[in-house]
Amino acid sequence: METRPDNVDDEDLSIGLAEHFGIVATTMSYAPVGFGDHHWHVTGDDGGQWFVTVSDLTHKQHCGPTAETACAGLREAMETAATLRERDGLDFVVAPRRSRGGSPVVALDDRFALSVFPRIAGQSGDFRQELPGAERDQVLGLLARLHRSAPPASTPATVLDPPGRADLENTLAELSAPWSGGPFAEPARKLVVDAEELLRTRLADFDRLAEQVRRSGRPQVVTHGEPHPGNLLRTEDGHLLLIDWDTVGLAVPERDLALLSGDPAALGHYAELTGNDPDPAALALYRLRWSLTDLAEFLEWFRSPHLRTTDTEMAWAGLTDTLENLRTFTPP
């Protein structure tokens, strides 16, 4: 996030790092990167370089509907990432450091959770970026290795319904009264009013595709969940790494593949490596699910109390982009 979290300052972070991870911070700077979590660059008194993440558990619905369940879900996800690297030797997994108690995630309080990652020099992409064929094939190679791995016991289950679907449907039923959460509330409501018929159609498309995928009986594998360019890190020596494993979970392979392309022909390298041809219906389902998930998250934000900040301006741009993606979506 561009802005610091409420109620967590550098002193809170220093205490948490020392108490739970044995890291005595000598320098600490807020890193305004990413979207969703809050990050700091930290140097320890031993010279160690760390990328420290504070997660707002009230905005982690994909990990759990409440702060308490989200903390447990985030802990399972990070345990899965750590196991994939430690047990299976998946060197492209950027996994968290374990705390003194062995957990990769610790609660700072009843709202925020803390995790610590190695700070790695490299270049990341943008989640809207489309990878050229050679780079896409490289990512498909990583995903093939991931999908062949035995699921760690901690691997979270996933559900097909997008997180926040119930809230989204409630929103569609409550469009007549003004929204008063902040500066983007009424503009967001008006966008949704104009798109109401489209959104109900896309929810029906989703249900039809979900039933088709359920009936297919395709085997589930360990998936990253969001292997888009924004979660890829190219190191200075040319290696490609996957970051942000809070969305890891058991699902059909298309949960990952759909973020690289909706065209099975563009995913041919994956089929060559695994012997599994991507399913067009499952690809369409997960591309649609991504958009509906983003839509629900943005609308929850704008219906809640908010101010005009760099982050909410980014969210507004995300909302308009998401609605355009839903308009251009063509169901198979």
- Between CA 240 and CA 95 the distance in angstroms is 14
CA nearest neighbour of 281 among 172, 191, 160: 160
CATH 3.90.1200.10 fits 133-328, yes or no: yes
- Which residues, 6 or more positions from 192, have their beta carbon under 8 angstroms from its beta carbon? 171, 172, 175, 199, 299
Domains 10-120 and 133-328 share a fold: no
- State the Cα–Cα distance between residues 251 and 221, nearest whole angstrom: 6
pLDDT digits (tens, 9 = 90+) for 11-52: 999 999 999 999 999 999 999 887 779 999 999 999 999 999
Q: Tokens representing 296?
A: 């629900």
Tens of each residue's pLDDT in the chain, 332 residues: 678 888 899 999 999 999 999 999 999 999 988 777 999 999 999 999 999 999 999 989 889 999 999 999 999 999 999 999 999 999 999 999 999 999 999 999 999 999 999 999 999 888 778 898 999 999 999 999 999 999 999 999 999 999 889 999 999 998 999 999 999 999 999 999 999 999 999 999 999 999 999 999 999 999 999 999 999 999 999 999 999 999 999 999 999 999 999 999 999 999 999 999 999 999 999 999 999 999 999 999 999 999 999 889 999 999 999 999 999 999 98
Query: Where are the domains positioned within the chain?
Result: 10-120, 133-328
pTM of the predicted model over 0.85: yes
Reported as a single tens digit per residue, the pLDDT across 308-323 is 998 899 999 999 999 9
**Are 155 and 84 in contact, with CB atoms under 8 Å apart?**
no
CA pair distance 144, 4, nearest whole angstrom: 37
Residue 3: the pLDDT is: 83
232-235 β-sheet, strand order: 122-124, 232-235, 240-242
> Looking at the domain that runs over 10-120, which CATH code has it been given?
3.30.200.20
Neighbours of 67 (CB within 10 A): 19
